[in-house]
Structure 1
Amino acid sequence: MDQLDRFNRRYNFFSKLSAALFYSIAVAIALNFFWTPGHMYSSGITGFAQLINSVSERFFPFTISTSLMYFVLNVPLFILGWTKIGHKFTFFTIIAVVLGSIMMRVIQPLEVHWDPLLCAIFGGTINGIGTGFALKNGISTGGLDIVGIVFRMKTGTSYGKFNILVNLVIIAAAGFVFGWTRALYSALTIFINGRVIDAIYTQHKKMQVMIITEHPQSIIDGIQNKMHRGITIIHDAEGAYSHTEKTVLITIIDRYDMYDIRQIIEHADPYAFVSVSEVEKVYGRFKEQEIV
């Protein structure tokens, strides 16, 4: 058992480290291959770092690099993550941010003149894939990821939607610096980035499962023992076709739990009727998966 625990810890460590490295390469490619040549801003801290870089180029006698500001702006948010989310989570966040800063320097910008629409689409998609993959592996990419996770823990609001809302300032800045056409492309890349993140990072998505069954106790035991979810039980339901007595079970789960609950239901009652719908927000007592 001790050897298995050591293997699991080692595997978990390298999977998170790989996710951090993958993100750092993705954000560097998005920034230097698409956003910088396309004269548009990213979302979150990366976008603010780009904005400070643009302002320093125009108005200061020296230039502050995007990679440096990306790290500096994340430092106070490391403290927020350390105190509000978890030490292990923040440790890998620091690794992801440091690697991202390094890759932004190592992977040099391309001197190309691609269509800005192409830059917006590919930049948002590549960065969204990297960010979503990192979040799915239990680490953050810093900046608004940390704020978004804390915000989601308090309110249950989707991370991607939060990310889009708080970036209106960056879009306005893009309009003043590069013109309002480029602001439109910045808005597009931010929107794509948020949607791709939501498509990959599904932990925050909640599903309502309604089960109509003649064998409720076996399903209830399976859900409570394996998934530790609350269940609402409605007795004395009747099927209109067979006129047999049935029980309705209603529960809220994470999207990650879908496979487990299907296996429980199929094992307990393969003839159960199951309806699944996505939940916009959950109020009341609901146990979130812990981030460590």
Structure 2
Amino acid sequence: MALKEKISTWFSGFSPFNMFMLFIAGVVNAAGVTIFIAPVNLYDSGISGTSILLGQLTPPEFSLTLFLLILNIPLLLFGLKRQGPLFTLYAIFAVGIYACTAWLITDILPIDVAFASPLAGTDLFLCAIFGGMISGVGSGLAIRYGGAMDGMEVVAVVFAKRLGITVGTFMMVYNALLYILCGVILKSWILPLYSIVTYASSSKTVDFIVDGLDTEKAAMIITGKPEEVGSELSSLFEIGLTVWETHGFYSGEKKTMLYAVVNQFQIPRLKAVVHKLDANAYVTITTVADLLHGSRESSNE
């Protein structure tokens, strides 16, 4: 395959809109870190938190921006084979915007972020909550639009499975070790403990941005009245349903299982409909981690 065709294949999903949203993500993330977190010596998670710590321990010329670039970019390139060229491009772009915006805020713009937050002062709790939320918006947008804001997330994807743990557990362990190291170096645990609040606030915000309010739920309904239940649900929510013929292991009784995907706000009505039409129906509801379909009408058949 010619080089031009390879490049075309690698970046076939490239989107200028995604690049624009990653630009916004980098700016927002930098604002959260430089205006709320770093001025009061709190620590973000992952490479961002590591960069803040290294920036505090080294001479002024070794800035937060420098560490963000020299730590993140090699890790993102390390994950190139696993994550693909397009993801790597998006992630490096987002980190680059984050680093440049952090430099603008700390060194160029007339904003004093040297010793206190210009908005929350030295209130550690406010800085932890709002810094975590704002940086979480940036990180969530980066993930939602195909990139990442932290090279450690890529390392987690590569090594977590080999270690027999989840990506979330890998990141939690890394951050725990980072905050313990901060406490040992500072000989104080106040800032590391508040940094845990920052991490919690950021994590919840990332989940909200990535999943949104319209979280999809999968309902599996085992019923003896599939026609009535299926017809009512299809008409009420304007969806299709997948149908399986099943039987009980012990009883051998034949029943039908209906599978439908709805949003979380429709779950109470779904339960009410199923209970009204078949009080003996067995229903399980799970969160859908991801959903890919051509249109809402074809999400189930």
Task: Provide the secondary structure at the position in 2 that maps to 1:107.
Answer: helix
Q: Counterparts in 2 of 1:164-203, with a 5 A limit?
A: 164-178=172-186, 179-202=188-211
Q: Which residue of 2 aligns with 1:19?
A: 21
Quick check: 1:40–1:174 contact (8 Å CA) kept in 2? no
Counterpart Cα distance in 1 of 2:30 and 2:194: 19
CA distance in 1, matches of 2:128, 2:80: 33
In structure 1, which of residues 135, 155, 170 is the aligned counterpart of residue 143 of structure 2?
Answer: 135
Alpha-carbon distance, 1:275 to partner? 3.5
Q: Distance in 2 between matches of 1:116 and 1:78?
A: 31
Give, in whole Å, the separation in 1 of the partners of 2:150 and 2:47.
8
CA contact (8 A) 1:171 1:186 kept: yes
Specify the code of the residue in structure 1 equivalent to 2:30. Answer: A
Aligned length: 243
The within-5 A match list for 1:66-105 is: 66-105=64-103
Aligned with 1:209 (options 219, 240, 246): 219
Instruction: Tell me the secondary structure at the aligned position of residue 114 of structure 1.
Output: coil
Pairwise CA distance, 1:288: 9.4
Cα distance in 2 for residues equivalent to 1:174 and 1:84: 31
Counterpart of 1:235 in structure 2 is 247
Q: 2-side partners of 1:207 and 1:159: how far apart?
A: 22
| CA shift for structure 1 position 278 | 3.9
Larger Rg: 2
Which one of the candidate residues 49, 52, 72 is aligned to 1:50? 52
Distance 2:83 2:137 in 1: 23
Aligned-residue offset at 1:87: 1.0
Superposition pairs of residues 261-276 of structure 1, within 5 angstroms: 275-276=284-285
Output one character per residue of 1:107-145: Cα deviation in whole Å (capped at 9) or x when no partner: 125253320111111111111111112111221123122
| Cα offsets for 1:32-80 (capped at 9, x unmatched) | 11112221111001111112111214xxxx6411111111111221223
- 2:113 is aligned to 110
Q: Which moved more, 1:144-153 or 1:112-121?
A: 144-153
**In structure 1, what is the Cα distance between the partners aligned to 2:122 and 2:203?**
23
- The TM-score normalised by the length of structure 1 is 0.68
Following the alignment from structure 2 to structure 1, what is the Cα–Cα distance between the partners of residues 31 and 126? 14
For 1:40, the aligned partner's letter is L
Where 1:210 maps in the other structure, the secondary structure is strand
Q: Deviations over 1:215-271 (max 9, x none)?
A: 59x99xx9xxxxxxx99752369xxxxxx96312569xxxxx645xx9xxx9xx997
Q: Is the 8 A contact 1:71 1:97 kept in 2?
A: yes
- Which sits farther off after the overlay, 132-141 or 107-116? 107-116
Q: State the Cα distance separating 1:209 from its structure 2 match.
A: 3.2
The percent of aligned pairs where both chains have the same amino acid is 26
8 Å CA contact 1:27–1:126 kept in 2: the answer is yes
The aligned amino acid for 1:47 is G
2:171 to 150, 163, 183: 163
Please report the RMSD computed on the Cα atoms of aligned residues, expressed in angstroms. Answer: 4.1
| Counterparts of 1:76 and 1:11, CA distance in 2 | 23
How has the CA–CA distance of structure 1 residues 129 and 175 changed in structure 2, closer, same or farther, with 3 Å as cutoff? same
When the two structures are superposed, what TM-score results if normalisation uses the length of structure 2? 0.66
Partners of 1:73 and 1:85 in 2: CA distance: 18
Contact between 1:25 and 1:103, CA under 8 Å: does it hold in 2?
A: yes
CA contact (8 A) 1:33 1:110 kept: yes
